[in-house]
Amino acid sequence: MSSRDETIVVIDFGSQYAQLIARRVREQKVYARILPCTASIDDVRKLNPIGIILSGGPANVYGENAPVCDKAVFELDVPVLGICYGAQFMCQSLGGKVHKAESREFGHADISTMGKSLLFEGLSLEMPVWMSHGDQIENLPKGFHTYAKTDTCPHAAIANESKGFYGVQFHPEVAHTPRGKEIIRNFLYNIVGAKGDWEMSSFVDETIKAVRDRVGDDTVVLGLSGGVDSSVVAVLLNRAIGKQLHCIFVDNGVLRKGEFERVVNGYRRDFDLNLIPIQAGKRFLDKLAGVTDPEKKRKIIGHEFIDIFEEEAKKIERVKYLAQGTLYPDVIESVAAHGGPTAVIKSHHNVGGLPEKLGLELVEPLRELFKDEVRALGQELGMPDSLVWRHPFPGPGLAVRIVGEVTPERVKVLQEADDVVMQEIHSSGLYRKVWQAFAVLLPIESVGVMGDERTYENTVALRVVESLDGMTADWTRMPYEVMGKISNRIINEVRGVNRVVYDISSKPPSTIEWE
Ligand code: XMP
């Protein structure tokens, strides 16, 4: 089956939650696509949607430059669910009225439902929801009725059930609305009548077909980092176009111990990838000599990577495309106050600027997905857990974990210490529970005693954090035995280290990496 038989179009009015809405829909096994509100009605029609969801947004619908979508969405003969701004837009577009509320509602609120609505089927009469609005619906359009209210919001849910038009003032897509999933499910199954047969496997099939159609006989080049995103893109594209995909994997001299060999052997053996391994460690380390400023280190590594990538890509024939593992959270699509969409794309840490430099077109098959969906995709593609659940690792690698100058000797010390951390984090069963775990080599030497000898050697900091997205993080309350074992092993096994300390700072105000 083609999942595109069943597409929900999410129309984005500049909401920070548009992607979350799409994702909630996909969780219910229905495919969702986001379009900016400035998309034409033909763009919407082309996707042949079985239902429309209008997102929230920061503007006031009655404001002069309020973002709008083509009102023909109400004439497509498919159900429409408006959320917050989307509900207000629906109300105003169909003849109702929206005004500034006397009391704004931000955060938790309790709704009381009334009447019988397909949207609330199976749910209790009273339930907590999450609100974020300063405006509210004052008069309903013709044919609409109210199905829920709060103490201060008389029309918290409205509907014209015969037309399949629903509006909710609250946000069913956020986790703070505990029954939100069921409300979205009710919209999809009770109201839209979705079959719900979209699976990650359909995503794989469709992406493979789309990539084949687009690429034809041309060649795609990809910078493989060994991380989840670029690996999933590599395996997916390998299925689609096989040897037309060339994966460049660069040893920049600041990878984890044994990482280069692991990646090269693993990808060749398990996936038969067309891999171009480049051992350029010396080139990077020569450039890094004498540099202590973290941002300079990042720049040097970034530029060197681009130069090497360019040299290698030029050797390949018929290269027309550059594949990247850009995810949805990397693509900040927002709608500016004047209603025009602006797309700000965070440049990939490693290959920023490359497409323009090489004159390549981008292939970004993960653009619509969240990290956990990418992991599910990796599993669907048969990738091993060790790859799918890999911790994030920064592009500039160990260079930003060696505080001060990066020398080949210091890289070696840190690789050994880091390797002990990895082994112990794995064997204690903590790997999947923590966001990142690593060692940092400090530019501090201190006095110690080993045997009868006085030592004056390096300090290693152990950093283990928990996080959902890397934006905020808390230090992990590690079992003392694991900390003790790591410390003992590092001091005993890694030449040049006589002290290990544990980093107990959270982000913010600290960052995860030390540089
Ligand atoms: P911070 O240190 O900013 O890290 O709290 C947040 C997340 O980003 C990773 N990180 C980087 N990743 N290039 C990367 O590819 C970088 O320059 C870089 N700096 C930090 C870090 O490992 C953590 O997951």
- The alpha carbon of 467 and the centre of ligand 1 are apart by a number of angstroms equal to 12
Q: What confidence score (pLDDT) does residue 108 get?
A: 93
Q: From the centroid of its chain, how far is CA 52?
A: 24
Alpha-carbon gap, residue 313 to 326, rounded angstroms = 20
Per-residue pLDDT, averaged over 346-364, amounts to 67
Specify the residue with its C-alpha closest to ligand 1, atom 14: 394
Provide the mean pLDDT of the chain. 92
CA 507 to ligand 1: nearest atom: 5
Higher-scoring residue by pLDDT: 219, 175: 219
CA of 469 to the centre of ligand 1 (A): 11
Residue 84's pLDDT band, with cuts at 50, 70 and 90, is very high
Helix (H, G, I), strand (E, B) or coil at 75: helix
What is the whole-number distance in angstroms between the Cα of residue 333 and the centre of ligand 1?
22
Task: Choose the weakest-confidence range: 77-86, 253-262, 327-336.
Answer: 327-336
- Is pLDDT of 299 > 50? yes
Q: Could you report the per-residue pLDDT of 374-428, keeping only the tens digit for each?
A: 999 999 999 999 899 999 999 999 999 999 999 999 999 999 999 999 999 999 9
How far is the CA of 390 from the CAs of 63, 117, 262, 470, 474, in angstroms?
47, 45, 13, 14, 19
In residues, how long is the chain?
515
Task: Measure the CA–CA gap between 446 and 231, rounded to whole angstroms.
Answer: 41
Say how far apart CA 157 and CA 169 lie, in whole Å.
Answer: 6
Among residues 342, 343, 341, 346, which one has the least CA distance to residue 330?
346
pLDDT at 347: 35
Residue nearest ligand 1's atom 20 by CA: 394
| Secondary element (H or E) of residue 422 | helix 408-427
Q: Which contiguous run of DSSP H or E holds residue 81? A: strand 80-83
Q: Cα of 349 to ligand 1 centre, how many Å?
A: 9
Residue 335 has pLDDT above 50, yes or no: no
For strands 319-323 and 219-224, give the pairing.
Answer: parallel
**Residue 254 is encoded by which pair of tokens?**
């600041």
Q: Which residue among 105, 173, 304, 515 is the active-site one?
A: 173
Between these two residues, 335 and 26, which has the higher pLDDT value? 26
- Looking at the CA of residue 350, tell me the nearest atom of ligand 1: 15
- pLDDT score at 355: 72
Name the pLDDT band for 4 (thresholds 50, 70, 90): low
pLDDT of the residue at 331: 62
Other Cβ atoms within 10 Å of 242 Cβ, number? 11
DSSP H or E segment with residue 34: strand 31-36
Ligand 1 atom nearest 436 alpha carbon: 24
**Residue 69 known to be catalytic:** no
Which residue CA neighbors atom 18 of ligand 1 most closely?
394
With beta carbons less than 8 A apart as the criterion, state whether 169 and 136 touch: yes
Q: What is the mean predicted confidence (pLDDT) over 53-65?
A: 93
- Ligand 1 centre to CA of 62 (Å) is 41
Separation of 506 CA from ligand 1 center, angstroms? 14
CA gap 206, 2 in Å, rounded: 8
Indicate if 171 belongs to the active site.
yes
- Cα 430 from Cα 424, distance rounded (Å): 9
Give yes or no for residue 359 having a pLDDT over 90. Answer: no
Q: Which candidate in 37, 153, 161, 171 is catalytic?
A: 171
- pLDDT tens-digit series, residues 178-221: 999 999 999 999 999 999 999 889 899 999 999 999 999 999 99
Q: Counting atoms of ligand 1 from 1, which one is nearest the CA of 511?
A: 5
State the pLDDT confidence band at 352, using cuts at 50, 70 and 90.
Answer: low
Indicate whether 73 pLDDT > 50.
Answer: yes
Q: How confident is the model at residue 356 (pLDDT cuts 50, 70, 90)?
A: confident
Q: How far is CA 199 from CA 1, 96, 191, 234, 243, in A?
A: 10, 39, 21, 20, 27
- Residue 319, strand partner residues: 219
| 436, pLDDT greater than 70 | yes
- Residue 49 pLDDT greater than 50, yes or no: yes
Tell me if residue 247 is catalytic: no
pLDDT digits (tens, 9 = 90+) for 120-162: 999 999 999 999 989 999 999 999 999 999 999 999 999 999 9
Cα–Cα distance measured from residue 245 to residue 150, given in angstroms and rounded to the nearest whole number: 56
Rg over alpha carbons for the chain, rounded to the nearest Å, is 27
Question: Which residue's CA is minimally distant from atom 9 of ligand 1?
Answer: 394
- Give the residue with greater pLDDT, 3 vs 142: 142
Q: Are strands 331-335 and 245-251 parallel, antiparallel or unpaired?
A: unpaired
The DSSP element (H or E) to which 45 belongs, if any, is helix 41-46
Of 50-59, 333-342, 421-430, 495-504, least confident by mean pLDDT is 333-342
Residue nearest to atom 12 of ligand 1 (CA): 394
Coil, strand or helix at 158? strand
Residue closest by Cα to atom 10 of ligand 1 = 394
Q: What predicted TM-score, i.e. pTM, was given to this entire model?
A: 0.80
The Cα–Cα gap between 156 and 113 comes to: 9
Q: Does the structure show a pLDDT above 70 at 313?
A: yes
The predicted model gives 326-331 an average pLDDT of 75
* Type of residue at 396: P
C-alpha 384 – ligand 1 centre gap (Å): 24
Sheet order of strands, 275-279 included: 275-279, 245-251, 219-224, 319-323, 361-363
Tens of pLDDT along 239-279? 999 999 999 999 999 999 999 999 999 898 889 999 999 99
pLDDT at res. 358? 78
Q: Report helix, strand or coil for 487.
A: helix
| Ligand 1 pocket test, candidate residues 418, 512, 514, 515, most atoms within 8 A of CB | 512
C-alpha to C-alpha distance for 263 and 393, rounded to whole angstroms = 14
Residues with CB under 6 A from ligand 1: 298, 349, 392, 394-396, 436, 470, 507, 511-513
Catalytic residue chosen out of the listed positions 69, 84, 153, 247: 84
Q: What are the distances in angstroms from CA 267 to CA 60, 232, 275?
A: 52, 11, 8
Task: Give the best-scoring range by mean pLDDT among 140-149, 199-208, 318-327, 336-345.
Answer: 140-149
Distance (Å, whole) CA 160 – CA 145 = 6
Atom number, ligand 1, closest to the C-alpha of residue 395: 15
pLDDT of residue 341: 39
Give residue 197 CA to ligand 1 midpoint distance, Å. Answer: 37
> What is the Cα–Cα distance from 414 to 411, expressed in whole angstroms?
5
pLDDT exceeds cutoff 90 at 357: no
Q: Which atom of ligand 1 is nearest to the CA of 473?
A: 5
- The β-bridge relationship of strands 361-363 and 31-36 is unpaired
DSSP single-letter state for residue 398:
G
User: What pLDDT is attached to residue 458?
Assistant: 98
